Amino acid sequence: MKLLFKQRLFSWLDSYDIYDETGAVMFSVKGELAFGHQLRIYDAAGNPIGCVKQRILTFLPKFELYRGEEYLGSICREFTFFKPSYNIDFCGWNVQGDWFEWDYQITDALGDTVATISKQIWNWTDTYTIDVADPKDAFYALMLVLAIDAEKCSRKD
Q: Which tens digit of pLDDT belongs to each residue from 66-107? A: 999 999 999 988 776 766 678 899 999 998 887 566 789 999
Residue boundaries of the structural domains of the chain: 2-156
pLDDT at 11: 47
pLDDT of residue 30: 92
Q: Which CATH number fits domain 2-156: 3.90.420.10, 3.30.450.260, 1.10.10.1110, 2.40.160.200?
A: 2.40.160.200
pLDDT average, residue stretch 118-125:
74
Average pLDDT, integer, range 15-28: 92
The values of phi and psi at residue 144, to 5°, are -65, -40
143 contacts 52 by C-beta, under 8 angstroms? yes
First-last CA distance in the chain = 33
Strand partners, 89: 74
The predicted pLDDT at position 31 comes to 87
* Size (the chain), residues: 157
| pLDDT computed for residue 33 by the predictor | 72
